[in-house]
């Protein structure tokens, strides 16, 4: 006969499994988006239209994952009425889910620019800026997801710090592309396509930084959005 | 003496007040962001740096509102454990809150471009595209917030429809600006600033459309994200 205690424990185990599952699903989606991003950068610098098309066609898989995860979260909130750190996990997953999906969107936008570049003529810049900022941003994304997986505040703070340096590099990359435009106005169209891809990378850096901020909230219960990197460090550095 | 029934009713009234409050606070934030957007467009087309600076300096108020609303939502989830449509309201407010804040961000970005345009020289285009798309997007935002306030699915669907036409107009505006760039490469810098502002307007249209999708979820419990406008109409048109 099932005793009341056993029943409670059974429910609680199932609840823990559900919480683990939303985390796992979000990380799976994150892994997929990482792949999409890295493939999009390769497609762009190599002018590989077939790869770009396949990235664009896979974006809906990310969208489906986003909707499924939101649905799981709503179900947990309704059925389990989580409290304290369990509730923070669910709210964090809802927030991070949006950022991960937007990163997938931006990767698909980069793929679309790469199709345009292959069709209208490649940019004369050799895509040094795209490669460089693409590496930085890919690294930020990997670290942000890893910080979420391991609840690692220190690593999350590093991601927030990196975003400031990406913004600087982005500014100087744009200036260098403007110089190319002025040198030969016939390249304006191609360089604009490259600029839009660069802008997507910069946005991905912002989203990775958002994810990192949500990790700080999840682990510490602190809302560190809209603050300077130094202010964030001040608040969290006491215990890592 | 307070009876059990009175006590329950008292709790339930307070809960309803809290739900009304998060809605009101979100709409207040939406109203503020609408003002920021409309002021940013005026500042840009009139080259009014003082107004642009004041928009930039007020962005932190929107950020504070976002954090306060998220905090209220987390508190309601933890204390009241809402179910059914109450839960959907809280989850919707959490989602819409992010979109409204990002619209505030984009309005501040437009203000920053307007400072650059005033400093580096105005664009030769007369900002016809900015005015036109700015009107469309301002209208979408107003309608999306109004649909949320009145739980009006029909109006929400109109906003989703408008977004497709904004995307088209945005594409043709960009092509027209490229022509200006090629005509006189000395204007490239100024026109790029205008393009970035245009891009922000296009993003604001996307966020307004997101808000409208969340309204459909709130009222109907349907997740209509990542679908064509026609598919959305198919799903919701049976009862409006």
Say if CB B125 and CB B180 are below 8 A apart: yes
Q: Which residues in chain B are closer than 8 Å to A66, comparing Cβ atoms? A: 225-226
Find the angle CA(B144)-CA(A209)-CA(B49) to the nearest 5 degrees: 60
CATH class of B10-238: mainly alpha
d(CA A53, CA A49): 6
Number of H helices, E strands in chain B: 7, 0
* Residue appearing with tokens 């185990």: A13
Six token digits for residue B180:
């200006």
Cβ of residue A11 closer than 8 Å to a chain B Cβ? no
Give Cα separations from B200 to A35, B6, B54, B113, B193 (angstroms): 27, 52, 18, 10, 11
What's the confidence (pLDDT) of residue B138?
98
pLDDT for the residue numbered A150: 98
- Interchain contact B203–A (C-beta under 8 A): no
Q: Which residues of chain B have pLDDT under 50?
A: none
Q: In this predicted model, what pLDDT tens digit does every residue of B150-203 receive, in sequence order? A: 999 999 999 999 999 999 999 999 999 999 999 999 999 999 999 999 999 999
Angle formed by the axes of helices A153-183 and B188-220, to 10°? 140
pLDDT in tens, chain A (240 residues): 567 888 888 888 999 999 999 999 999 999 999 999 999 999 999 999 999 999 999 999 999 999 999 999 999 999 999 999 999 999 999 999 999 999 999 999 999 999 999 998 888 898 999 999 999 999 999 999 999 999 999 999 999 999 999 999 999 999 999 999 999 999 999 999 999 999 999 999 999 999 999 999 999 999 999 998 899 998 997 656
Instruction: Give the residue extent of every domain in chain B.
Output: 10-238
Closest-CA residue to B102 (of A114, A53, A167, A225)? A225
Q: Among partner residues A64, A87, A182, which is closest to B78 by beta-carbon distance? A: A87
Asked if the Cβ–Cβ distance from B67 to A225 is below 8 Å, we say yes
Residue with tokens 């030969």: A184
**The total number of residues written for chain A in this structure:** 240
Q: Chain A residue closest to B97 (CA)? A: A95
Residue B52, both tokens:
């642009």
> What pLDDT, on a 0 to 100 scale, did the predictor assign at position B7?
82
Report the distance separating Cα B84 and Cα A156, nearest Å: 34
Q: What is the pLDDT of residue A10?
A: 83
């Amino acid at each position: 006969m099932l005793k009341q205690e056993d029943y409670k424990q059974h429910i609680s185990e199932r609840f823990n499994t559900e919480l683990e599952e939303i985390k796992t699903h979000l990380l799976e989606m994150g892994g997929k988006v990482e792949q999409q991003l890295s493939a999009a950068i390769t497609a762009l610098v190599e002018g590989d239209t077939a790869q770009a098309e396949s990235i664009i066609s896979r974006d809906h898989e990310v969208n489906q994952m986003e909707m499924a995860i939101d649905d799981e979260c709503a179900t947990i909130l309704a059925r389990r009425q989580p409290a304290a750190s369990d509730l923070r996990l669910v709210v964090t997953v809802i927030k991070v889910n949006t950022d991960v999906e937007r990163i997938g969107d931006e990767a698909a936008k980069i793929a679309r620019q790469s199709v345009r570049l292959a069709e209208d003529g490649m940019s004369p810049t050799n895509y040094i800026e795209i490669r460089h900022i693409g590496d930085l941003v890919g690294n930020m994304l990997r670290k942000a997801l890893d910080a979420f997986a391991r609840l690692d505040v220190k690593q999350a703070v590093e991601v927030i710090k990196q975003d400031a340096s990406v913004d600087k590099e982005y500014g100087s990359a744009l200036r260098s592309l403007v110089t190319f435009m002025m040198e030969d106005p016939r390249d304006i169209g191609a360089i604009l396509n490259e600029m839009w891809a660069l802008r997507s990378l910069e946005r991905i850096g912002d989203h990775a930084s958002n994810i990192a901020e949500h990790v700080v909230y999840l682990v510490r219960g602190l809302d560190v959005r809209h603050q300077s990197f130094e202010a964030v460090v001040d608040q969290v550095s006491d215990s890592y």
